[in-house]
Chain A
Amino acid sequence: MRVVSTTSLIPAETAARVGELLAPPVTVTVTAEGSQRYAQAVGDLNPIYFDETAAHAAGYRTMVVPPTYVAYALVQGRPLGDIGIDGLFVGDKPIRLEVARIMFGGEEWDFVAPVHAGDVITGEARLAAIDQKDGSKGPFVRITREITYRTAAGEVVARTRQIGIAR
């Protein structure tokens, strides 16, 4: 018979939250200014993000934004009082785990349609999964947040699954 670890890092109240919306949906107008600042900070000077003519030549109806930028276009400003000692914003309903810290573990993107400067996009984040695993450095928790981005007409333009590793 296999010996199964009975120590759970995931409180029952957290496990019960799988599938729930992590925050109310956010709607923004994606701006060229925000997109270009992001592209410059990444070091990605592709002209389709900066120049209307280059975007047309590449087959887009207007300037597009870097594929992963949509996630940052939707980040909401928060007051300084909402920032914890580590500098991270404290959520209204943080995901409670019996762990010391959470690291960014990776991401899985589907790009369904391009996002253009000026598009109105709504993002909806759900807690997609929470699993405890046994790694070489001991047990850890894998948290998957799935965010779906849609146009005002309701068409999905992108979807991402952000993986957090907590231990």
Chain B
Amino acid sequence: MSAVVQPYADELAPGAVLPTVVRNASRVQLFLYSAATWNPHRIHYDVDYARFEGHPDIIVHGPLQGAWLSQYVTDWAGPAGRMRSLQWQNRASALPERDYEFHGRVIAIDGDLVTLEVWEQDPDGNVLMPGEAVVQLPRRDRG
């Protein structure tokens, strides 16, 4: 984790860009995530079986990418931030040992509620996972 910076709702404006974060899953991480979530689906650890189902390799769990998106939002929101909602679509599969970028920008601010457009893309700019989050943030003008 990087140094803790607390954003404030009244110091943001629509269009503000969140810092980009890169994630890259090792095969070991995929195995551990399967274990920690009690998920025995073979496409996440058995290359031969994944190919039989038409995938080029084992694939990253859709919900793991969702958890990365969740972490992208909560890390940005800081200790006083509270994520109120998060939605995403898994459009394409991600592979292990590859970089994926998480991006975001502020699209609306209403009181202490900040709506973010967030997404995961590959280094070529193809969006794998578009999403949206609502985060409750503190305001400076309310002390």
A, B in one complex: yes
Interface residues of A, Cβ cutoff 8 Å to B? 34, 37-38, 40-46, 48, 54, 57-59, 66-68, 71-72, 75, 77, 83, 86-89, 101, 103-111, 114, 163
Known A67-B86, A68-B70, A107-B87: A40·B49 in contact at CB below 8 Å:
no
- The smallest beta-carbon distance between A44 and chain B, in angstroms, is 4
Cβ–Cβ contact A111 & B85, under 8 A: yes
- Given pairs A42-B67, A106-B89, 8 additional interface contacts (CB within 8 A): A41-B64, A43-B71, A44-B70, A66-B71, A72-B38, A87-B41, A105-B90, A109-B86
Residue of B1, B35, B68, B70 ringed by the most chain A CB atoms within 10 A: B70
Cβ–Cβ contact B86 & A111, under 8 A: yes
List B contacts of A46 (CB < 8 A). 1, 71, 74-75
Closest to A59 in B: B80
Complex Cα–Cα for A134 and B129 (A): 21
Complex Cα–Cα for A54 and B74 (A): 15
Q: Is the interface of A mostly helix, strand, loop or mixed?
A: mixed
List B contacts of A108 (CB < 8 A). 85-87
Cβ–Cβ contact B74 & A41, under 8 A: no
Closest to A77 in B: B38
List A contacts of B38 (CB < 8 A). 72, 75, 77
Q: Determine if B33 is an interface residue (Cβ-Cβ < 8 Å).
A: yes
Ordered by A's residue number, 18 sampled pairs between the chains whose C-beta atoms are within 8 Å are: A37-B36, A38-B36, A41-B36, A42-B68, A43-B23, A43-B71, A46-B74, A66-B70, A67-B74, A86-B41, A87-B40, A88-B40, A107-B63, A107-B88, A108-B85, A108-B87, A109-B85, A109-B86
List A contacts of B32 (CB < 8 A). 37, 40-41
